[in-house]
């Protein structure tokens, strides 16, 4: 334990954060979670301990609390920070822009001030493909124009600008800006996964809640987009691949320094209906659909050109859409009410994990692209 560098993970108890913490331990780092638990659960800590053998320290606090934030840096020596903590619902950001700027931009400024004070100058930042807006061409490269169409995307673009300005003004900083596309799936153990509070804002958790019987049908927001089947097209990436991308970025900064901007995606897009069909095959469950009007701020299609991440970080998304859906369904099946199903589920998941791992490793290769859907 003493030899494991401490990494502060803001928002580390959330969906993506929990998987990053698991990946950090595998890479011989010690995650320290800083989270106000607004959209997450304390149960994640126990699950991570069961999964990794390491119990992450949880600092239950808000990033905008200067006293708590500075105390965290005074009490622990951190090698780096992975900054995930943010509000992220596009639709809610349209209705509550001030709250989004306060949390996402002011929170980032508070964190950078505390890091500078503590002389911690290595940061991996969770950005988003929403900074590109309705891109004129796909796949989207990092040098594509940024034109976010909603307040959430604009808060991420603002934070990126702050980091870029900081890198120019103070060259000692080592910064990685990772533009996520659409993380889905769950850890193969079923111990950690996506547990949205209230109505899910993202596609796959809504699908899994329909499949488990919590909801009657999937609302498909728009079937008149200029896409092959009329539904929105996105780049869906397995959350474990995404987590491993953060480890690759952290290790790249440790080795080379500088400032990196990279897309984390698979490089191909899938429509809503294609994901539904893949999930039905992975789960053997039928998903009823209800077509409704488009949501404000949504775009027709968005998928990555991930070659910069391949080249700069030595990273590539490896898990296909079948794996994403199967892992998400395993998580939901073992945790029908999310982390509220805590103690018994943890034991059951641990008992079935070796069998799941064996079956996953025996599964024949599935093409890593849309052609997998027609197999």
Q: Residue 356's pLDDT is what?
A: 45
Count of residues making up the chain = 375
Q: Residue 350's pLDDT is what?
A: 55
Contact in structure between 148 and 154 (CB atoms under 8 Å): yes
pLDDT tens for 20-78 read 999 999 999 999 999 999 999 999 999 999 999 999 999 999 999 999 999 999 999 99
| Phi, psi dihedrals of residue 249, rounded to the nearest 5° | -65, -45
pLDDT higher than 50, residue 360: no
Give catalytic status of residue 236 as yes or no.
Answer: no
Contact in structure between 37 and 68 (CB atoms under 8 Å): no
Q: Is 235 helix (H, G, I), strand (E, B) or coil?
A: coil
pLDDT-derived band of residue 354, with 50, 70 and 90 as boundaries?
Answer: low
pLDDT higher than 70, residue 348: no
Query: What is the side-by-side order of every strand in the sheet holding 174-180?
Result: 57-60, 30-35, 6-10, 80-83, 122-128, 174-180, 259-264
pLDDT higher than 80, residue 353: no
Q: Residue 351's pLDDT is what?
A: 56
Closest CA to 50 of 345, 301, 346, 323: 346
More confident residue, 113 or 366: 113
CA distance 367 to 363: 12
Average of pLDDT values for 231-258?
Answer: 97
CA distance 222 to 226: 11
pLDDT higher than 80, residue 349: no
Contact in structure between 234 and 269 (CB atoms under 8 Å): yes
Q: Residue 53's pLDDT is what?
A: 96
CA distance 104 to 98: 10
Q: Residue 373's pLDDT is what?
A: 39
State percent of the chain over pLDDT 70: 90
N-to-C CA span, the chain: 46
Question: Rounded to an integer, what is the distance from CA 6 to the centroid of its chain?
Answer: 21
320-355 CB burial, b ≥16 within 10 A, e <16 = bbbbbbbbbbbbbebbeebbeeeeebbeebeeebee
Note the pTM of the prediction, 2 decimals. 0.91
Q: Which of 100, 132, 152, 268 is catalytic?
A: 152
What's the token pair of residue 24?
């950090």
pLDDT tens for 124-182 read 999 999 999 989 899 999 999 999 999 999 999 999 999 999 999 999 999 999 999 99
Q: Residue 298's pLDDT is what?
A: 85
Burial of 256 (0-12, 13-18, 19+ CB in 10 A): exposed
CA distance 204 to 192: 15
pLDDT tens for 192-215 read 999 998 899 899 999 999 999 999
More confident residue, 354 or 27: 27
Average of pLDDT values for 327-334?
Answer: 97
pLDDT higher than 70, residue 366: no
Query: 237: which strand partners?
Result: 183
**Element at 73 (helix H, strand E):** helix 66-75
Burial of 362 (0-12, 13-18, 19+ CB in 10 A): exposed
Taking phi over 0 as left and psi of -120 to 50 as alpha, with beta for the rest, 345 belongs to alpha
pLDDT-derived band of residue 280, with 50, 70 and 90 as boundaries?
Answer: very high
pLDDT-derived band of residue 371, with 50, 70 and 90 as boundaries?
Answer: very low
């Amino acid at each position: 334990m003493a030899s494991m560098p401490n990494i502060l993970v803001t928002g580390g108890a959330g969906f993506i954060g929990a998987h990053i913490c698991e990946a950090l331990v595998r890479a011989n780092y010690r995650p320290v979670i800083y989270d106000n638990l607004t959209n997450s659960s304390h149960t994640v800590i126990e699950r991570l301990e069961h999964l990794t053998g390491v119990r992450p320290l949880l600092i239950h606090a808000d990033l905008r609390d200067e006293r708590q934030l500075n105390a965290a840096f005074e009490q622990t020596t951190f090698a780096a920070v992975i900054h995930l903590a943010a509000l992220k619902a596009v639709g809610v950001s349209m209705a509550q822009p001030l709250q989004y700027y306060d949390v996402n931009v002011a929170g980032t400024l508070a964190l950078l001030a505390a890091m500078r004070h503590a002389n911690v100058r290595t940061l991996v930042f969770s950005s988003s493909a929403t900074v590109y807006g309705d891109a004129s061409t796909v796949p989207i490269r990092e040098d594509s124009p940024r034109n976010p169409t909603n307040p959430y995307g604009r808060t991420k673009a603002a934070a990126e600008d702050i980091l870029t300005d900081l890198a120019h003004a103070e060259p000692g900083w080592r910064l990685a800006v990772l533009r996520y596309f659409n993380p889905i799936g769950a850890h193969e153990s079923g111990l950690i996964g996506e547990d949205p509070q209230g109505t899910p804002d993202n596609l796959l958790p809504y699908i899994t809640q329909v499949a488990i019987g919590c909801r009657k049908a999937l609302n498909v927001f728009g079937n008149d987009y200029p896409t092959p089947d009329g539904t929105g097209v996105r780049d869906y990436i397995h959350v474990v691949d995404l987590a491993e991308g953060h480890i690759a970025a952290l290790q790249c900064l440790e080795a080379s320094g500088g400032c990196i901007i990279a897309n984390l995606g698979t490089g191909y897009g899938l429509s809503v209906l294609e994901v539904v069909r893949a999930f039905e095959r992975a789960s053997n469950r039928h998903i009823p659909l209800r077509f409704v009007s488009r949501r404000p701020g949504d775009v027709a299609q968005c998928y990555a050109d991930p070659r910069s991440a391949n080249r700069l970080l030595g990273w590539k998304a490896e898990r296909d859409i079948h794996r994403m859906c199967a892992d998400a369904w395993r998580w939901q099946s073992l945790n029908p009410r999310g982390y509220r199903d805590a103690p018994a589920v943890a034991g059951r998941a641990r008992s079935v994990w070796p069998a799941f791992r064996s079956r996953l490793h025996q599964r024949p290769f599935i093409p890593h692209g849309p052609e997998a859907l027609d197999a």
